[in-house]
Amino acid sequence: MVPPTSCNKPRKTSKEEEGAVKEDMASWFSWNEPYCRSPRRDPADVVTETLMLEFSWQLKETERQQRERENEYRRLKTGVDYSWLASTPRSSYNICTGERLGLEDLCSKVPPTCCGLVILKFREAMQLNEPEVQEVSALFRSILLEALDQLKEEQEAQRLTHQWNNRRAVSMSLVNFRSRIKINPFGSTVGLTSVADGAGLSDLKTVSEDVERGTERSQRVWSMPDFRYKGSSSSKVV
């Protein structure tokens, strides 16, 4: 029996070739593995981590500067420089756990929009005061409390402004309503003219009508005849 040659092998269809290509590419790029998206972090956690990283860096930087000042003072006092013999020591100052938790709690209350402003204020305070390494924590706490107090004042001012605007809108609506009542106290005059061919509308008392009636009365008084007595013995009135 003659073995089948390459020409006699059955050819793969287009679908089979396409499936083979997809399998190869899936094995190359690991498409067959499930895609795991990292969960979204809470903005408060991000702000807390950012502020605490800034605090830790300022703490280490302050400790380094303090060490350099001590070495400089020692060199000036003894007249000998041993800095080339000394190796850079590791950070030795750490705050207690309770103090760190308190700072983290304050940092979590800072909104993300104020995070950059708090960092700038903290750096300015560090450059201005030049505190010791033991004073950095208290300075950072004061900056956080100041930022939170300022935020509360702004929120209170916004609340009062919003409340005042609402009251003003209500009062303006009442003023407009009262002015409409004064202008037209009887509301719409539609239908009043249908009573006795406008008699209902003419019954409404107005200032102009009173003035006209007063004028008419005065004219009637002056148009009356002049009654005088003619003779002392006669009681007739002409």
Q: Where are the beta strands (DSSP E) in 115-219?
A: none
Whole-structure pTM value: 0.51
CA gap 119, 51 in Å, rounded: 7
**pLDDT tens digits, one per residue of 190-228:** 444 444 444 444 454 555 555 555 555 554 555 555 556
Q: Whose CA is closest to 12, among 21, 24, 4, 3?
A: 21
pLDDT tens string 145-190: 999 999 998 888 888 887 777 777 776 766 666 666 655 555 554 4
- Measured between alpha carbons, how far is 77 from 97 in angstroms, rounded to an integer? 38
Location of structure tokens 């703490």: 59
